[in-house]
Amino acid sequence: MMHISTWRRVLIWLVCLGGLFFALPNLFYDRVETANDARAVIETGQTNAELEADAGLWPEWMPSGLVNLGLDLRGGAHLLAEVQVEEVYAARMEAMWPEVRDALAARRDTVGFVTREEGGDPTELRVRISNADQAAAALEIVRGLATPIQSLTGGGADDIEVRADGAEIIVTLSEAERAATDDRTIRQALEIVRRRIDEVGTREPTIQRQGEDRILIEVPGVGSAEEVKEIIGTTAQLTFQPVVSRTGDANESPGPNNEILPSLDEEGVYYILERNPVVSGEELVDAQPAFDQNGRPAVNFRFNPTGARAFGDYTAENIGSPFAIVLDEEVISAPVIQSHIPGGSGIITGNFTVEESTQLAVLLRAGALPAGLEFLEERTIGPELGADSIAAGKIAAIVGALAVIVFMILTYGLFGVFATVALTINMILIFAVLSILGATLTLPGIAGIVLTMGMAVDANVLVYERIREELKTARGPARAIDLGYEKALSAILDGNITTLITALILFLVGSGPVRGFAVTLGLGILTSVFTAIFVTRLLIVIWFERRRPKTIEV
Amino acid sequence: MRLRIVPDNTKIDFFRAARITFGASILAMIASVVLFFAMGLNFGIDFQGGTTIRTEAENPVDVAAYRQAIAPLDLGDVIITEVFDPSFGDDKNVASVRIQAQEGAEAVSAETIAAVETALQGVDPTITFPSVESVGPKVSGELIQSAIFAVLGSLVAILFYIWLRFEWQFAVGALAALVHDVVLTIGLFAAIQIKFDLAIIAALLTIVGYSINDTVVVFDRARENLRKYKTMPLRDLLNLSANETLSRTVMTSGTTLLALLALIVLGGDVIRGFVFAIFWGVLVGTYSSIYVAKNIVLMLGVKRDWDKKDDPKAGTQFANIDA
């Protein structure tokens, strides 16, 4: 009656052993982590005796996956940034203006003079024509500039929308183009944030898109969220713009299509620049810290072919006039063009320290953020606080486990011992699965594990209580055990599936620590059902086969 | 000698005091709602925006001095509370400084935080800042939304599952028990003003999961007994089911509460509120599965096609045991 086939027994033991095998690295957390880090470095091609020794700390044939410790346990910074996608719309409109101007200027005889209306919504371009009655014609001309966008839905939408308002022609990005732009912007921002953080080299940062236009950044081990912001927050928007004039008055009117920007290192000096850059940072392919001919720190840079051509042409045509190197809306320097600069490489000098020039090179190399970031959420957790939490969690887990074990053995005797073995295997399995998945353990996650310990015995309790009942009526202990398992099953399943549903919803809706809790709670439910239905049962069956007791007491 | 918390074959009539228990539940729920509206919840920065700075110093915390140091910065509402934990030694004095969200800014600026830190270090040079958390009003608004969505969503999902697996009366009973537990937990948080943050939402959902687990076990037995004792009055049948599963209910609550108790005492102050919420939830969840869910099912009645009218004299208990 009570029979479990051999292959099934083997399978159950294999799962348990496999769990132990994969959970084992967590017992030697520091050692495995050092070895893993060393191996990662060796893989990049570098190696030395120390690295080899570190890598040798943990045998290669053993699994080396560890449970990731969440920020609240390891310490570090958590930031949620919103990408200011509208800035890109504004930049696109800015770039649209010369095109619109030239197209309308070509038909000056019909539409008259063209002027740009400034100061309105930066995400739209407003153009006024002097022949107000020709608005319809102007509209046609500007519409001709639209290009169809490729999209999966194929709807044949154009990238811009043009409408007339009296003598004004208003150009905006179309809905479809905005969506496409947003997506591109976020991807680009994501990639750049990732590269900038990688440049500083921290362990396993998490950088992911969240929702429509947000980026979640988690960097373990850094001192504060502020540091991370410094690395990524700088827009590092590099442009080369023609200089119109130099002034000491910040409020001077720059004139149409110009802008006024302060100098980086000269107090009270402002430059009036043409707004359309000759070349921008996006066309940069490399930037390295260097020193100029006077031995001062500087940054060497090189453009891609397009940038190089534009830069070469401009310098050839404007020898003797100054042009400005602008970084993040500040003029770093405004040298006079001495000669034609072909080849597309150059040097930025300014009053840099070596550190500043290195940092600038990093920022330039990583590329410009396509739009600014606004930080909606910042959290810094110190490593000591995390260590305290781990220590407290460990003690609480051990004490909790002991209390549950004592309670179970007092109540169910030998069967309580079986449940204890199952509970231990359950804990091992949770850690094994967390390690295999590379899931993150958070402080609420530890609470989830402790809670699971309390609830994990539930399935066993259900079965045992049922066996007790069946013992009163059934014929013999073997039959009672069988019936106990059989009849308790539906309650076990119903109870655990509903809990699993809540864990799932928590996982979907929650973030950070809460998600960590959902993971351990959900895994705990799955493993506890496995251990209660298969492991304890196997233990009982083995015991029963050896002893063949006439009566049992549960 | 085995430990038996619940003796075998209990025959407790859980409905005898139904008026009192059910009335007490309803009163407690009304009180919770009143408390919620009268006192409000002590929302953490997750739901209200703002900044929390945790301070740790070797010298005892002097809340008044801290407040005085920060006052000149003119940050609006600043709440300073001392944090206690048995694991802190004499040279570890922890406090939490809470600054309200600043107008017009998404997150509190780095300068503001730096200014607060400098001011506090002026009071006590040994002070350090183990954690600084800042949430902008935009995110906190969304967090509230998703939290409400999570709780309602899980209630609906469970309702649906129970309805699939049992009769609809059981689903309503289970739902009533869940709402009861969630409302009482929120009421407790309003009453004692523990910080209500994202983790507490996780706790609420855990309570939902636990409570339903408890309720389902009783219902599962009731379903089985419905098939077994076709003529037993519903009231007796539900009582029998509760009695049969009572030992299990007490055992599981016992082990869970033991584990949680270890966490409350030893788990550190950071998660104490969270664990406390779950602890309370397990208590009310256990209560509600015995005294609330069943009452609702009894009130609604379960249609048994063989059973035209609940006749209390129809057959005695165990009259119909099938072998």
The string of pLDDT tens digits covering residues B88-107 is 888 888 999 988 887 766 66
- Across the interface, do A451 and B224 touch by the CB < 8 Å criterion? no
- Across the interface, do B268 and A450 touch by the CB < 8 Å criterion? no
Cα–Cα distance between A496 and A466 in angstroms, integer?
Answer: 17
Q: Do A220 and A252 meet the contact criterion of CB atoms below 8 Å apart?
A: no
CA B41 vs CA B28, B34, B196: distances in Å:
17, 12, 7
Cα–Cα distance between A147 and A142 in angstroms, integer?
Answer: 11
- What band does A155 get if pLDDT is binned at 50, 70 and 90? low
- In the block, which residue shows the tokens 């490593």? A383
Nearest CA in chain B to A383: B130
What is residue B107's DSSP assignment?
S
Q: State the pTM of this model.
A: 0.77
Single-letter code of the amino acid located at B144: I
In this complex, is the C-beta atom of B274 within 8 Å of any C-beta atom belonging to chain A? yes
Residues A69 and A163 in one domain: no
pLDDT of residue B311: 45
- Across the interface, do A451 and B107 touch by the CB < 8 Å criterion? no
Which CATH architecture best describes the domain B18-43+139-300? Up-down Bundle (1.20)
pLDDT of residue B11: 82
- For A489, what's the count of Cα atoms within 13 Å in the CB-facing half-sphere? 10
Domain assignment of residue A213, yes or no: no
pLDDT of residue A368: 67
Residues A342 and A431 in one domain: no
Q: Do A505 and B149 meet the contact criterion of CB atoms below 8 Å apart?
A: no
- With beta carbons under 8 A apart, name residues in chain A contacting B132: 224-225, 378-380
Q: What count of CB pairs under 8 Å joins A to B?
A: 232
Residues A502 and A529 in one domain: yes
Q: Do A268 and A331 meet the contact criterion of CB atoms below 8 Å apart?
A: no
Cα–Cα distance between A289 and A291 in angstroms, integer?
Answer: 7
What is residue A553's DSSP assignment?
-
- Across the interface, do B132 and A503 touch by the CB < 8 Å criterion? no
For residue A332, which of A273, A285, A286 has the smallest C-alpha distance?
A: A273
- Across the interface, do A396 and B263 touch by the CB < 8 Å criterion? yes
| Best residue of B227, B249, B255 to probe chain A, by most A CBs closer than 10 Å | B255
Cα–Cα distance between B246 and B7 in angstroms, integer?
Answer: 10
- Across the interface, do A498 and B158 touch by the CB < 8 Å criterion? yes
* Total count of residues recorded for chain B: 323
In this complex, is the C-beta atom of A498 within 8 Å of any C-beta atom belonging to chain B? yes
Residues A386 and A339 in one domain: no
- What band does A153 get if pLDDT is binned at 50, 70 and 90? low
- What band does A15 get if pLDDT is binned at 50, 70 and 90? very high
Domain that holds residue A324: 237-353
Q: Please give the full DSSP string across B262-317, using - where no structure is assigned.
A: HHHHHS-STTHHHHHHHHHHHHHHHHHHHHTHHHHHHHH----TT-SS--TTSS-T
Region for A367 from its dihedrals, namely left if φ exceeds 0, alpha if ψ lies in -120 to 50, beta otherwise: left
Of A41-50, A125-134, A148-157, where does the model show the most confidence?
A125-134
Q: What's the mean per-residue pLDDT of chain A?
A: 83
Let me know how many helices (H) and strands (E) chain B has, helices first: 10, 6
For residue B147, which of B103, B203, B194 has the smallest C-alpha distance?
A: B203
CA B67 vs CA A146, B43, B93: distances in Å:
60, 21, 16
Domain assignment of residue A552, yes or no: no
- Across the interface, do A375 and B136 touch by the CB < 8 Å criterion? yes
Cα–Cα distance between A401 and A406 in angstroms, integer?
Answer: 9
Secondary structure class of A294 (helix, strand, coil): coil
Residues A308 and A327 in one domain: yes
Domain assignment of residue A193, yes or no: no
Cα–Cα distance between A171 and A213 in angstroms, integer?
Answer: 24
- Across the interface, do A407 and B255 touch by the CB < 8 Å criterion? yes
Q: Do B75 and B112 meet the contact criterion of CB atoms below 8 Å apart?
A: yes
Nearest CA in chain A to B129: A382
Q: Do B247 and A465 meet the contact criterion of CB atoms below 8 Å apart?
A: yes
- Complex prediction ipTM: 0.81
Span A226-238, average pLDDT: 73
> Could you report the per-residue pLDDT of A136-148, keeping only the tens digit for each?
888 888 888 887 7
- Weakest mean pLDDT among A34-38, A223-227, A269-273, A469-473: A223-227
Cα–Cα distance between A14 and A534 in angstroms, integer?
Answer: 12
- Weakest mean pLDDT among A87-101, B121-135, B230-244: A87-101
In this complex, is the C-beta atom of B210 within 8 Å of any C-beta atom belonging to chain A? yes
Q: Point out which residues pair with A81 in neighbouring strands.
A: A215, A375
Residues A98 and A32 in one domain: no
pLDDT of residue A29: 86
Residue B304 has pLDDT above 50, yes or no: yes
Secondary structure class of A57 (helix, strand, coil): coil
Span A390-397, average pLDDT: 87
Cα–Cα distance between B240 and B12 in angstroms, integer?
Answer: 9
Q: CATH number, domain at A54? A: 1.20.1640.10
In this complex, is the C-beta atom of B259 within 8 Å of any C-beta atom belonging to chain A? yes
pLDDT of residue A108: 82
Domain assignment of residue A365, yes or no: no
* Total count of residues recorded for chain A: 554
In this complex, is the C-beta atom of A400 within 8 Å of any C-beta atom belonging to chain B? yes
> Could you report the per-residue pLDDT of A490-526, keeping only the tens digit for each?
888 888 888 888 888 888 877 667 788 888 888 988 9
CA A152 vs CA A146, A176, B149: distances in Å:
19, 11, 32
Let me know how many helices (H) and strands (E) chain A has, helices first: 17, 19
In angstroms, the separation between the Cα of residue B4 and the nearest Cα of chain A is 6
- With beta carbons under 8 A apart, name residues in chain A contacting B87: 388, 392
Q: What's the mean per-residue pLDDT of chain B?
A: 85
> Could you report the per-residue pLDDT of B140-186, keeping only the tens digit for each?
888 888 888 888 888 888 888 888 888 889 999 999 999 999 999 99
Domain assignment of residue A200, yes or no: no
User: How large is the C-alpha radius of gyration of chain A?
Assistant: 34
Pick from B157, B210, B247: CB nearest A501:
B157
For residue A354, which of A394, A311, A300, A299 has the smallest C-alpha distance?
A: A299
Q: What is the dihedral of CA A436, A52, A73, A377, to 10 degrees?
A: -90
Q: Do B281 and B181 meet the contact criterion of CB atoms below 8 Å apart?
A: yes
Strand order in the sheet with A124-129: A114-117, A124-129, A168-173, A160-165
> Could you report the per-residue pLDDT of B232-253, keeping only the tens digit for each?
898 899 999 999 888 888 888 9
Nearest CA in chain B to A554: B2
Strands B128-135 and B50-57 come out as: antiparallel
Domain assignment of residue A160, yes or no: yes
In angstroms, the separation between the Cα of residue A426 and the nearest Cα of chain B is 15
Q: CATH number, domain at A108? A: 3.30.1360
Residue predicted with more confidence, A335 or A399: A399
What CATH number was assigned to the domain covering residues B50-135? 3.30.70.2040
Residues A267 and A136 in one domain: no
| Best residue of A218, A373, A376, A492 to probe chain B, by most B CBs closer than 10 Å | A376
How many folded domains does chain A comprise?
3
In angstroms, the separation between the Cα of residue B287 and the nearest Cα of chain A is 17
Q: Do A361 and A287 meet the contact criterion of CB atoms below 8 Å apart?
A: yes
Residue at a domain's end among A179, A207, A222: A179
- Across the interface, do A396 and B270 touch by the CB < 8 Å criterion? no
In this complex, is the C-beta atom of A470 within 8 Å of any C-beta atom belonging to chain B? no
In this complex, is the C-beta atom of B218 within 8 Å of any C-beta atom belonging to chain A? no
Residue at a domain's end among A304, A336, A353: A353
- What band does A431 get if pLDDT is binned at 50, 70 and 90? very high
Domain assignment of residue A360, yes or no: no
Residue range(s) of every CATH 3.30.70.2040 domain in chain B:
50-135
Region for A512 from its dihedrals, namely left if φ exceeds 0, alpha if ψ lies in -120 to 50, beta otherwise: left
Q: Do A328 and A234 meet the contact criterion of CB atoms below 8 Å apart?
A: yes
Strands B42-43 and B195-196 come out as: parallel
Angle between helical axes of B168-192 and B272-291 (0-180°, round to 10): 140
Q: Please give the full DSSP string across B73-95, using - where no structure is assigned.
A: G--S-EEEEEE--TT--TT-EEE
Cα–Cα distance between A136 and A146 in angstroms, integer?
Answer: 16
Cβ neighbors of B61 (< 8 A, separation 6 or more) are: B55, B82, B93, B94, B95
In angstroms, the separation between the Cα of residue B22 and the nearest Cα of chain A is 24
Cα–Cα distance between A502 and A448 in angstroms, integer?
Answer: 13
Residue A186 has pLDDT above 50, yes or no: yes
Pick from B139, B265, B275: CB nearest A447:
B275
Residues A436 and A328 in one domain: no
pLDDT of residue B283: 93
Residues A433 and A478 in one domain: yes
Q: Do A205 and A217 meet the contact criterion of CB atoms below 8 Å apart?
A: yes
Span B188-206, average pLDDT: 87
In angstroms, the separation between the Cα of residue A235 and the nearest Cα of chain B is 17
Cα–Cα distance between B206 and A524 in angstroms, integer?
Answer: 13
Residues A251 and A344 in one domain: yes
Residue A432 has pLDDT above 90, yes or no: yes
Nearest CA in chain A to B3: A411
Residue A45 has pLDDT above 80, yes or no: no
What is residue A534's DSSP assignment?
I
Domain assignment of residue A302, yes or no: yes
Residue at a domain's end among A161, A179, A197: A179
The burial class, CB within 10 Å (0-12 / 13-18 / 19+), for B67 is middle
Secondary structure class of A290 (helix, strand, coil): strand
| Best residue of B241, B270, B280 to probe chain A, by most A CBs closer than 10 Å | B270
Residue B314 has pLDDT above 50, yes or no: no
Q: CATH number, domain at A258? A: 3.30.1360.200
Cα–Cα distance between A429 and A451 in angstroms, integer?
Answer: 15
Q: Do A522 and A500 meet the contact criterion of CB atoms below 8 Å apart?
A: yes
- Across the interface, do B213 and A229 touch by the CB < 8 Å criterion? no
Q: Point out which residues pair with A325 in neighbouring strands.
A: A240, A333
Single-letter code of the amino acid located at B309: K
- Across the interface, do A497 and B139 touch by the CB < 8 Å criterion? no
For residue A101, which of A87, A116, A82 has the smallest C-alpha distance?
A: A116
Residues A155 and A290 in one domain: no
Pick from B134, B265, B274: CB nearest A378:
B134
Q: Do A256 and B164 meet the contact criterion of CB atoms below 8 Å apart?
A: no
Residue range(s) of every CATH 1.20.1640.10 domain in chain B:
18-43+139-300
Angle between helical axes of A175-200 and A225-233 (0-180°, round to 10): 120
Q: Please give the full DSSP string across A171-192, using - where no structure is assigned.
A: EEE-HHHHHHHHHHHHHHHHHH
Residues A252 and A162 in one domain: no
